[in-house]
Amino acid sequence: MTERFDVVVVGGGPGGSATATFVAKSGHRVLLLEKETFPRYQIGESLLPATVQGTCHLLGVGDDLRRAGFTVKRGGYFRWGTNPEPWVLDFNTVPGLEGLAAPAFQVERMKFDQILLDNARRCGAEVRERCSVTGVLTGDGRVTGVRYLDGGRERQALARFVVDASGNTGQLFRAVGGARIYSDFFRNIALFGYFTGGKRLPEPYSGNILTEAFPSGWFWYIPLSPELTSVGAVVTREMVAKVRGDREQALRALIDESTLVRDYLADATRVTDGVYGQIRTRKDYSYCGTRFWRPGMVLVGDAACFVDPVLSSGVHLATYSALMAARSINSILDGTVDEPRAFDEFESRYRREYGNFYEFLVSFYDRHVDESSYFWKAKKLTNYPDSELEAFTTLVGGLSSGESALIGAMPGEELWQPPEIELGTIAGRYPDWDTDRHIRFDPRHPLFESKQWVPGGVPDQGPRPGGLIPSEDGLRWAVPEPARTG
Ligand code: FAD
């Protein structure tokens, strides 16, 4: 039997659950297919204010998050750059986040993803676990549904739209066409495990992520609970020998190269059983697709793109893209905006957000400068109207798109519209950058030239000329009123 839905979402991670919720909330029939049984393990534990205050607020899970008792994250604590002293990133300095008790959280993804998936169910999406999508159905130049395995039985579901939110390992993204381009600059490898009894930063920063650069790369140190800490080393390809062989010894040796993390783990014990008992590795996770949609299908979250985790942007990009995709789908299903216009808006905003993180991260990886240089680059990149420090905090909080839906205010408004800046190559925009050292372009697919990535090209900041704006409820696109003259 073939079933029919308005939308089939593939994958129940944050990208898939959020898309399903935003579309189901608008009254459309949604089927979400997830191949695992939740709760399931996933990395990506440090969240940004844009996710916690913005998309989660709009999803309606704010109370669930507070009840879950996640560690409150007020920002970051960096030993990074030429400054020998650690420096603090404080989200409370961002307008709209001042005085918040919990600007963001550190989460065990098994619990966080379960909350979002349960919420999708509660909001009307039909969620089926242990259902693995094997391919898409097509007809008349469109994607028209999916084939999937349900307990070994092959089934089909037809839909007006298929959303691929199957993450980093899914293969479905190929169905939109184009290519997945792996970043030549961020060819890093992560090695990570869990510890109990690690030290905590002094208050009020005990819940902050600690990020420490060390000779072979950098470490994250994320307090998930008073007892449990997630610890990961990210090393460059050139250092691959250091993560080969026995993982326990490799992680130990890397910890011994560090200063702060070694000290914070001095009395800690590695967890060796249960879901946190393994030492895991991940590689080849920084990439971007050349296409994000085709008629009837759209890519969300890691299925579309991801870049190095040093600024914890993954779940933000997944949930932000979910909101943009859901707005597009809701508007098309309602008949208010046509498909190319709606998905071009989705794609341009998503690429801009991804591009901001990517471009900023390239400069952040230059450790021969101090933090004031990073702050300056954040301001240059985003055209943020106020101080350089605020520009940096806003960008790494996931708030540089200027959309007020991301800080829980009125969803219809955009907070600021920085002046448009000329598109160009990164070298053209930042003449002081040594592009040979920082970036090796794949000449066929220059990673930064948004012009070549988005049909027609997009301005870097603010709404596109002739582009769409968020609707009053934040769940659709609206066509802006023509500007009044005279
Ligand atoms: P996922 O969370 O991967 O969810 C995809 C889901 O799809 C999975 O549940 C999977 O089972 C399911 N699926 C796959 N194939 C199929 C199929 N064929 N049929 C049905 N279901 C399918 N992000 C942060 O925000 N903060 C961090 O601190 C952070 N740290 C990271 C550290 C490392 C080393 C790495 C590699 C990433 C990190 N990330 C971090 C990124 C984060 O893990 C991802 O960006 C995020 O999980 C993406 O969410 P998603 O919904 O797109 O995909």
CATH 3.50.50.60 domain range(s) in the chain: 2-176+286-470
CATH 3.30.9.100 domain range(s) in the chain: 184-285
Q: Give the pLDDT confidence of 88-120 residue by residue, as tens digits.
A: 999 988 877 888 889 999 999 999 999 999 999
Cα of 167 vs centre of ligand 1, distance in Å, is 5
76 Cβ closer than 6 Å to some ligand 1 atom:
no
Cα of 33 vs centre of ligand 1, distance in Å, is 15
Residue 372 C-alpha from the chain's centroid: 25
318 Cβ closer than 6 Å to some ligand 1 atom:
yes
Considering the four listed CATH numbers 3.90.550.10, 3.40.50.10490, 3.40.190.170, 3.50.50.60, the one that applies to the domain covering 2-176+286-470 is 3.50.50.60
pLDDT exceeds cutoff 50 at 418: no
pLDDT value of residue 295? 98
174 Cβ closer than 6 Å to some ligand 1 atom:
no
* 331 contacts 479 by C-beta, under 8 angstroms: no
Q: Give the phi and the psi of residue 347 in degrees, each rounded to 5.
A: -65, -40
Q: Collapse the DSSP code of 288 into the 3-class scheme (helix H, G, I; strand E, B; otherwise coil) and give the result.
A: strand
For residue 103, say if its preceding peptide bond is cis, omega within 30 degrees of 0.
Answer: no
Q: Give the pLDDT confidence of 57-70 residue by residue, as tens digits.
A: 899 999 999 999 99
CA distance 311 to 397: 9
> Where is average pLDDT lowest: 95-109, 205-219, 345-359, 437-451?
437-451
CA distance 94 to 115: 27
354 Cβ closer than 6 Å to some ligand 1 atom:
no
Cα of 38 vs centre of ligand 1, distance in Å, is 13
pLDDT value of residue 186? 85
CATH of domain 184-285: 3.30.9.100
* 352 contacts 450 by C-beta, under 8 angstroms: yes
